[in-house]
Amino acid sequence: MVASFVEGRVRLRHSGLQKTSIVDRVTRELETRAGIEQVAPNRKVGSLLVCYDRAVTTLEEILDVLRAYLKDTPFPQKAPSLPKRPSARKMPRISMSRRRVVNLSLLVSFIGSMAALFVDAKTIHIQLGVLFVALAVQHLFDKRRTLLV
């Protein structure tokens, strides 16, 4: 039975996989197949972890090998379908030109604020500092989806 499945990785559980002779033969057979990257048996629980290259082999081919060695016991006939991903909330995309303007404005306001500090222009330093903070808040708001993941 397929315990977990992600394209390129499958964990199979079956009581027949607790037998050393069967597990060894299945492991050797799978390791000789093209596209199989790793086979990791766990005899205690009767599972087999198979990592494979999706471009070269399929889950059906892996299940066919197991069916050949586990003929006397039922095994799923069809590979499971991929679970559907929950639809994420659509965030408005920010145009590239707006993003560049915000980023460039952040840089200019920061450099200007630091320069005003060194030439003892306190009012300009505060104004550019406030502009920088406002732009930083805008930037963080635009990137909130990336930052909060």
Closest CA to 135 of 112, 106, 104, 114: 106
- Residue range 47-56: average pLDDT? 88
Contacts of the segment 27-33: beta carbons below 8 A, 24+ positions apart: 29/65, 29/69, 30/62, 30/65, 33/57, 33/61, 33/65
At 13, the pLDDT band (50, 70, 90 cuts) reads confident
Q: Which residue has the tokens 């630091």?
A: 114
pLDDT in tens, 29-45: 888 888 888 888 888 88
Residue 40's alpha-carbon distances to 10, 77, 129, in angstroms, are 11, 22, 57
Task: Classify domain 2-69 by CATH architecture.
Answer: 2-Layer Sandwich (3.30)
Confidence (pLDDT) at 73: 56
3-state secondary structure of 58: coil
